[in-house]
Structure 1
Amino acid sequence: MNHARWKLGRERAHAEGRTETPETEAMRTEIRMAFDLGQAVHDRRTELGISQSELAERANMTQPQVSKLELGGTVPTLPLLARLAKALDASLDIALDGDTSTVVFTAHAA
């Protein structure tokens, strides 16, 4: 499920007065966290002015894997996160607090 469909489904449920099951809420939290990470990767990549293909090469990935990651369609392993940070010439800070997450790539000093 992509982010737009997920958000639309949530808005419809609220408009109809339906409450979500705990399983649905947990799934939405996971999707939101994956989307936050993907957005941070996209933002840093575009800040560097590199293509998905170039990032893929730097991080030992394929371009489709980078695309899927940026769209929030995958949850990467810790080793992959380390490769991404290195490929993006940045440190990666992820803060998790209950149902919220903050993902920030901070550029290394020149």
Structure 2
Amino acid sequence: MNHSTWRTCRARQLVGETVGYDREHVDARLAGDLGQAVYDRRIELSLSRAELADRAAMTEPQVPQLEGGDTVPPLPMLRRLAKVLDGSLTVAIDEGDSHVTFAPRSS
């Protein structure tokens, strides 16, 4: 989906029309939501990018790529991230919708 198509869909959605987004848009939003969840939790724990990378067995350049929504890591890395960030990562994927939540573990 290019930017002008997205803007048209967004404008139609804002005026109350039902808009179907293509798979690329849903996937991009999921990647962005995942990155934001990781970023928010990392900041909450006062971890630097380097500390997160070291603890999660990632390279330091992978952290901003992940947090920026440029990439979705494989499942083993998601498992390590959940452990390092001391939380529960939930990714819900449905046909036309998806969302990510990162809940801290109860103390």
Whichever structure has more helix as a proportion of its residues is 1
| Match of residue 6, structure 2, among 5, 10, 29 | 10
Indicate conservation of the 8 Å contact 2:26/2:98, yes or no: no
Secondary structure of 2:22 counterpart: helix
Residue segments in structure 1 that go unaligned for 5+ positions in a row = 1-5
Which amino acid in 1 is paired with 2:95? G
1:107 aligns with 2:88: no
Indicate conservation of the 8 Å contact 1:37/1:70, yes or no: yes
Indicate conservation of the 8 Å contact 1:92/1:106, yes or no: yes
Overall identity of the aligned pairs, in %: 47
Indicate conservation of the 8 Å contact 1:92/1:104, yes or no: yes
2:64 maps to 67
Runs of 4+ in 1 over 6 A off after TM superposition: none
Aligned residue pairs total 99
1:49 aligns with 2:46: yes
TM-score in terms of structure 2 length: 0.79
